[in-house]
Amino acid sequence: MAVEHIVLAKPRDGVAEQKILGLCREVEAHFDKIPGVISSSMGLTFKPGPSGFLYGVVVRLRDKQALDTYLPHPEHLAAGKKMQGVFSDFL
C-alpha cells in the first residue's frame, strides 16, 4: 500500500519567494532519484494558517519499506540540508 510523507515548512524572514520556488524544483529533483518514490511535489499552500507554515512537501512512496529507505537516503538528506537554509521550522 502506498504511503505519503508530508512536511510543512515555515520560510525564514527575508527569503524571496522566487528563491523558495526555485528550491521547490531542486527538492523535487532530489526526491525523484530515490528508489520507491512514486511522486513528489512542493509548493505554496493555498490556505496558510497563522503559524507561518506557508509551504508543503508531499512525497508519495510505494510502501512502508520505501519510506524506510527514503528517510536516510543521501538524496533526502541533501534536500533537507538545502531546505534548512531557506526554512526556519518544519512540521
66/90 Cα distance (integer angstroms): 22
* Confidence label for 48 from pLDDT (cuts 50, 70 and 90): low
Nearest CA among 60, 65, 69, 76 for reference residue 2: 60
Q: Is the pLDDT of residue 45 over 90?
A: no
Q: What is the mean pLDDT of the chain?
A: 94
Strand order through the sheet with 87-90: 37-44, 55-61, 3-11, 87-90
Q: What is the mean predicted confidence (pLDDT) over 25-33?
A: 95
Q: What is the mean predicted confidence (pLDDT) over 56-72?
A: 97
Q: Where is pLDDT greater, at 46 or 74?
A: 74
Q: What is the mean predicted confidence (pLDDT) over 86-91?
A: 95
According to the model, what pLDDT value does residue 75 have? 98
